[in-house]
Amino acid sequence: MKSKFFGLNAKLALAVLAVGTMFTSCYDSENGDVVKPYQPVPPTYYVAGTITDAENGAPLAATVSVSGEETPVTADATSGAYSMKLTSTGAKTLTAEYEGYEPSGDRAFNIPTDLKNGES
């Protein structure tokens, strides 16, 4: 009877040792938990608006382009809304064009290079 009881204790002790070893070997390195330094996410800039007919307010699916950006966007046909992600800062010029309409006057704007998080 004693040998079976000792056998159970030995198995239990080995199981606890195996589980404990498994949990302590889960570190990335032997130095323990290492906190990586915070690296802020680079800011993202957008320009957005609505293109409508000046006389009756009807939305227009105009093509909107911004200087220094490769791909123009097309405003939504039902709402006239557009949104463009900008890839760089600095002085920009926005132009909207729609077939049958004169091109809009260029709208100049600037995205400062020294904006801090949360500023616009």
Taking the domains of the chain in order of start, what are their residue ranges?
A: 45-111
pLDDT band at 111 (very low <50, low <70, confident <90, very high): confident
How crowded is residue 2: how many other Cβ atoms within 10 Å of its Cβ? Answer: 6
Contact by Cβ (8 Å): 94, 47: yes
Which of 58, 88, 54, 85 has its CA nearest to residue 72?
Answer: 85
> What is the CATH code of the structural domain delimited by 45-111?
2.60.40.1120
pLDDT band at 35 (very low <50, low <70, confident <90, very high): confident
Whether pTM exceeds 0.75? no
What is the average per-residue pLDDT within 52-74? 91
